[in-house]
Structure 1
């Protein structure tokens, strides 16, 4: 338990981000909640205690928003120990149907966002020997049908994580990522409501079900903790065994 450490969590209004913010609060952190919808962030802040949290609304693809968020964090708490880059969007479609605007939206939030937040946070993380945990995806480890742009954005997060880990390990900053599969979140709501799609996922996930936000949050908390002090540049699948398969179908 740490009663003086500070974590920034982006996309904290729901799903994995909200679960992660709650987990860090339980572990004694002050938590900075970022997202685009103030009402959702405020609800999470109320749940974990407004005295333990700071809400900074804004889009992580904006450099001004990100710099303000980090500045507000330091002004309020005087330090920064953990950054969780969780904010993300999904727009499906094959290349003949996906617009340039849809490509930009995903690359800006999913890849540029973690770049901007990490860049702004690193001077402070160097001081505390802190860590970054990015939320990539199994879609950043291999391709999906009809999701090339999302896959590209998450692939960028995966390799950015590895390369930044090399650059900043000498300064004591660890940088890792989690790679969830289908997780029961607001972003996956349409998928979770489709029994046929859920069944198809269950057939590919060794544990036979979608993940829960709290299950991803627990791994994020581990990667940010002293228990993972010799772990950096690692992408941890939190996917119920999906990526353990070589892709061939289950027989019998």
Structure 2
């Protein structure tokens, strides 16, 4: 197949929050976009509609990243959509963004909670990326989403944060081993952001918001549109010589 001249980016968990802004800013950067959603189909369709209004192509596909047994079927679905909707046979950027958190003390975290974090954050970025490799273009870009909590520590985030620390190591290994295909791999580590992540605590708890803002050099917590532009940059040719890097996008928190 003759590939379209427009590059295609795939963002997991693109129906809301950070993923939604990443998808929209990738479209603004010139990408056509595939997003995944787990349950919020109407929200995902709204993101698709907003990207199409911008003149770019977009589709939303269901995916539960915690279910690694579904990855092969998902990749086949992506291939079908690339051919039928995008006139393409490759994706050019993969953003491993989908995730959820566990807020629990180390001493009371259950094995089920721990395993959920492994499946959603660590196994997904490892094995979904692995399954996507045949349709990821040489010279493409992978962005794995970590967290500021992989660098600094707050109580009750152990199970979540250590998975993100693993993601940061995974990015370096992927960059090393995929370099022969000129595929770049970088990590973006957001700080505290006003989204519905973790029950919306940063957004809705005024005391928590104020405390985090006071610890940040720029004097506020983050907003979703603080993150998407950095991801879009890393996926683009503007970042063609940026590889195996961890970029914390947190306004200078806990410097």
TM-score by length of 2: 0.89
Contact kept? 1:161, 1:177, Cα under 8 Å: yes
Alignment-derived partner of residue 128 in structure 1: 138
Q: 1:65 and 1:184 mapped to 2: Cα distance?
A: 31
Q: Is residue 143 from structure 1 mapped to residue 162 from structure 2 by the alignment? A: no
Q: 1:148 and 1:159 mapped to 2: Cα distance?
A: 17
**Paired positions, count:** 242
Alignment-derived partner of residue 53 in structure 1: 58
Contact kept? 2:9, 2:26, Cα under 8 Å: yes
Which runs of structure 1 show a deviation greater than 6 angstroms over 4 or more consecutive aligned residues?
A: none
Deviations 1:45-73 (A, max 9, x none): 12212871121112112224332332222
Q: Of the candidates 168, 172, 177, which is equivalent to residue 162 of structure 1?
A: 172
Alignment-derived partner of residue 19 in structure 2: 17
Q: 1:214 and 1:44 mapped to 2: Cα distance?
A: 14
Q: 1:15 and 1:155 mapped to 2: Cα distance?
A: 22
Alignment-derived partner of residue 215 in structure 2: 204
Deviations 1:2-46 (A, max 9, x none): 951111100101011000111112223221110202222112112
Alignment-derived partner of residue 63 in structure 1: 68
**Structure 2 gap ranges (5+):** 83-88
Contact kept? 1:3, 1:28, Cα under 8 Å: no
TM-score by length of 1: 0.90
